[in-house]
Amino acid sequence: GRIVHLADYRPTDFVLERVDLTFELDPTETKVEARLIFHRREGVDPAAPLVLDGDDLTMTSLLFDQIEMDPARYTALPESLEIRDLPESTPFEITVVTMINPEANTQLMGLYRSNGIYCTQCEAEGFRRITYFPDRPDVLAVYTINIIADKAANPLLLSNGNFLGGAGFGPDKHFAAWFDPHPKPSYLFALVAGDLGVVEDTFTTMTGREVALKIYVEHGKEPRAAYAMDALKRSMKWDEEVFGREYDLDIFMIVAVSNFNMGAMENKGLNIFNDKYVLADPETATDQDYANIEAIIAHEYFHNWTGNRITCRDWFQLCLKEGLTVYRDHEFSADMRSRPVKRIAEVRHLRSEQFPEDSGPLAHPVRPTKYREINNFYTTTVYEKGSEVTRMIATILGRDGFKKGMDLYFERHDGDASTVEDFVKCFEDATGADLNQFALWYHQAGTPQVTVSSVYDAAASTLSLSLEQMLPATPGQPNKEPMHIPLRFALIGDNGAELDASIVTGGKVTADVLHLTERSQTFVFSGISSRPVVSLNRGFSAPITLHFEQSEADLAHIARHDSDHFARWQAITDSALPVLTKAARAAQAGEPVAVSASLVDILLTVAADEELEPAFRAQALALPSESDIARELGGDNDPDAIHVGREAVLVALAKAGASVFAALYDRHAVTGAFSPDAASAGRRALRNAALTFLSIAEGDPKRAAEAYAAANNMTDLSQALSVLAHRFPEAKETAATLQAFEARFADNPLVLDKWFAIQATIPGAQTLEHVRSLMASPHYAAGNPNRVRSLIGSLAFSNPTGFHRKDGAAYSFFADQILDIDPRNPQLAARLLTALRSWRMLESSRADKARQALVTIERGPNLSTDVRDIVDRILK
């Protein structure tokens, strides 16, 4: 794989005018005929050849304006088709026939079969595995699609756009024709054929047009698509109300498939989903599953405008659609659920996934400038940090300014393949703001470190806030410029009231936002008559790490009084982290672990505070994770010590709070019919947190076994099973319950994924052997990405003590797995491999063993570009 550079971007020599595709579907020998009409772009060298992309293609015929082409005029290779001696300016037609084998396509890119269903995945470069094509996002065309297939096996023939018609075709076949009037890039093409059940509904748009909504799932699973349909209708309505965006076809379809590399795909009018993000009912889906379905249905739907109507000029602009669309789905979920609780979950996710990426060998800017394998840039930096950058634009410009900029973006760039610069310019032009310095967020990698100190001068009634920003070096970027960091803040008085902070010198403050723009800056607030507590980066307005030594008392004040509940949660976390890092250090030194009374007090007060939403209290009780603690420790990490230290803190809290937890457990039972709404989910979360602490305090599996027996929904069932497996792995109740769960859900692979994941995340070195034995289970399927992620992925990403076994055995197992998966599914292998990206943070003996495993992978035979790219960068 050669390296692609942003600086090398230039438009194509030929303009694609129309695309007509005919598929004759066959499991192993599908014939694809592509009729493409091109003309040479004005000013292009008349001798320039047309070069089309291919990937592993076999061509069986090539026509030029309907006549067989002279072989001297073209060169067909598996990876490209070059055609020479083409007209100087008149349009011409190329007809290419390729033969492909969907059944043998284990990469799940291009046209493949999933459980007997034909489906496609073309983003980013899968279309070139179907036919020769200018497979890049700035080539937009109108497509007509004909599908011919065996009628009995494939009653359903779907593609993008509107249905034109269909008919019988010979004795056993039939065909269908689809036309998509909206010009689109090839990555948004989709085709589905097979035998599926459907759930149907309609949506009436803001201008009164009726849109047919269809969700296709395996026969018998239709009832499990009801929640997805509801989420879709709410998404359509929300996008009209909040962003003024109306849907633009007569039909919107979603198809759920069981073999899928990622969450879902926003193909125009025909979204294809990993079935995990469509199917839900109380018996089989957790509250988290419902929330994920709602978010991903919305995300893919929102892409219709941010991604499809306005697409990306090139793949370097990926954040243009992904960062923006994540921001939109975050806002949607915040409006559907509890805004602060949603924000806490987002920040937890950002810190645990994106911060490590940004501080390790895979760090890259939100808008990268080079890549070797584009599949490896569907990262949490592009998605989640990209979303945070969009959020900061909204924070800086305010609600109205942001809306004006978005409106201008939709108006100015509808139908375009755009860039990040185009996007930013809309906000500047709409509001007059200068976002030049702000745009560094797209270009400089790394998480800014902001160090803060405050001095209160009672005699002068001033508060001085000194801030210093430092952006660490990242691969290829040794030196950085200072960024524009918008920090929401409040000065909180004794009684909890916010003080007037409008008289200020030393920098720009707009409403409740302090704009840090210099490397170091001191803001002086006047007229502050008593010493306030400073609440900074409220709502996590900027994705930074804040170093602000605040006393336990100040943190407790924020935790009790801040009107921003995110800031309350942050203060609780800031109180807990030093206790947990100290505990880890003590455990490493073999010393007893001390737990501060003040932390226990804050946590129990919050837990028992009936004024607070249960979901918020559950988030507070979910202390920083072992990987949060590892990040805070910052190096030479011993995952066993971190675990032992954290466990000691949990035990202390559980014992001190036993009566509080018992009361919560009794009081928060959710009665009546199951509802997946956020408030009910919050009560379940709090009650299950209480169950965990009670089980720890009691040191007995009995309560969890009873909870399991009493559960009437998957959230409670899987939580009880987790407590049993993780807290009492040797108990007879645990073995029996695991078995009962397996037997009960033996025919539901998505639920068995939970069963795999719970077992793969049992803390401790012995879990590796258990994972090995689970690979032999009849439920395991190495070709199914969901299964692989739930077993191997859970061990590698979510089981620090299991994965980072001192003897390195799990690393060598992992290397074997990566090398085994890679030839089948390079995207999956490369993504799993990122679990080792922070190996340099480990203490030296583990780091050494992790490096050896990486070297084993690096030396593997015939590595894919995907895995080679990741392993090389991780080792560099």
Binding residues for ligand HT7, rule: CB under 6 A, are: 121, 123-124, 261-262, 264-266, 299-300, 303, 322, 378
CA proximity to 64, closest of 41, 35, 39, 33: 35
Q: How far apart are CA 220 and CA 436, in angstroms?
A: 55
Q: Binding segment for Zn ion among 148-156, 318-326, 608-616, 829-837 (CB under 5 A)?
A: 318-326
- At 111, list the tokens: 């046209």
Q: Kindly tell me which of 303 and 703 has the beta carbon lying closer to Zn ion.
A: 303
**Long-range contacts of 216-219, Cβ-Cβ distance < 8 Å, separation of 24 or more:** 216/156, 216/158, 216/192, 216/253, 216/254, 216/255, 216/256, 217/256, 217/275, 217/278, 217/279, 218/115, 218/256, 218/258, 218/275, 219/195
Q: Kindly tell me which of 300 and 626 has the beta carbon lying closer to ligand HT7.
A: 300
CA proximity to 471, closest of 435, 446, 502, 505: 446
Q: How far apart are CA 580 and CA 28, in angstroms?
A: 56
- At 186, list the tokens: 């090839």
Q: Report the partner that residue 138 touches, choosing among ligand HT7, Zn ion, none (CB closer than 5 to 8 A by kind).
A: none
Report the nearest approach of ligand HT7 to the CB of residue 259 (Å): 11
Strands 270-274 and 264-265: antiparallel
Q: Report the partner that residue 378 touches, choosing among ligand HT7, Zn ion, none (CB closer than 5 to 8 A by kind).
A: ligand HT7
Q: Kindly tell me which of 121 and 317 has the beta carbon lying closer to ligand HT7.
A: 121
Residues whose CB is less than 8 angstroms from the CB of residue 855 and which lie 6 or more positions away in sequence, other chains included? 875
Q: Kindly tell me which of 295 and 690 has the beta carbon lying closer to ligand HT7.
A: 295
Report the nearest approach of Zn ion to the CB of residue 457 (Å): 50
Q: Kindly tell me which of 281 and 866 has the beta carbon lying closer to ligand HT7.
A: 866
DSSP state of 172: T
Report the nearest approach of ligand HT7 to the CB of residue 55 (Å): 14
CA 700 to chain centre: 37
Which of the following is catalytic: 24, 123, 218, 300? 300
Report the nearest approach of ligand HT7 to the CB of residue 169 (Å): 31
User: What is the residue type of 772?
Assistant: R
Q: Report the partner that residue 123 touches, choosing among ligand HT7, Zn ion, none (CB closer than 5 to 8 A by kind).
A: ligand HT7
Q: Report the partner that residue 697 touches, choosing among Zn ion, ligand HT7, none (CB closer than 5 to 8 A by kind).
A: none
Report the nearest approach of ligand HT7 to the CB of residue 825 (Å): 11
Report the nearest approach of ligand HT7 to the CB of residue 34 (Å): 22
Q: Report the partner that residue 380 touches, choosing among Zn ion, ligand HT7, none (CB closer than 5 to 8 A by kind).
A: none
- Count CA within 13 A, CB hemisphere, residue 243: 27
Which parts of 177-196 interact with Zn ion (CB under 5 A)?
none
Tell me the sheet residues that pair with 270. Answer: 253
Q: Kindly tell me which of 256 and 483 has the beta carbon lying closer to ligand HT7.
A: 256
Q: Kindly tell me which of 264 and 363 has the beta carbon lying closer to ligand HT7.
A: 264
Q: Binding segment for Zn ion among 325-333, 476-484, 784-792, 856-864 (CB under 5 A)?
A: 325-333
Report the nearest approach of ligand HT7 to the CB of residue 319 (Å): 11
DSSP state of 69: P
Which residue in this structure is represented by tokens 């020769």? 132
Residue nearest to ligand HT7 (CB): 262
Q: Give CA separation, 327 vs 102, 296, 443, in Å.
A: 35, 12, 19
Using CB under 5 A, count the residues that bind Zn ion: 2
Report the nearest approach of ligand HT7 to the CB of residue 424 (Å): 21
Active site residue 706: no
Print the binding letters for residues 540-569 with Zn ion: x by CB under 5 A, - otherwise.
Answer: ------------------------------
Length of the chain, in residues: 876
- At 305, list the tokens: 């405008």
Q: Report the partner that residue 373 touches, choosing among ligand HT7, Zn ion, none (CB closer than 5 to 8 A by kind).
A: none
For Cα atoms 619, 621, 626, give the angle at the middle one, nearest 5 degrees.
90
Q: How far apart are CA 239 and CA 245, in angstroms?
A: 5
Q: How far apart are CA 317 and CA 310, in angstroms?
A: 12
Q: Report the partner that residue 121 touches, choosing among ligand HT7, Zn ion, none (CB closer than 5 to 8 A by kind).
A: ligand HT7
Q: Kindly tell me which of 261 and 713 has the beta carbon lying closer to ligand HT7.
A: 261
Catalytic residues: 300
Binding site for Zn ion (CB under 5 A): 322, 325
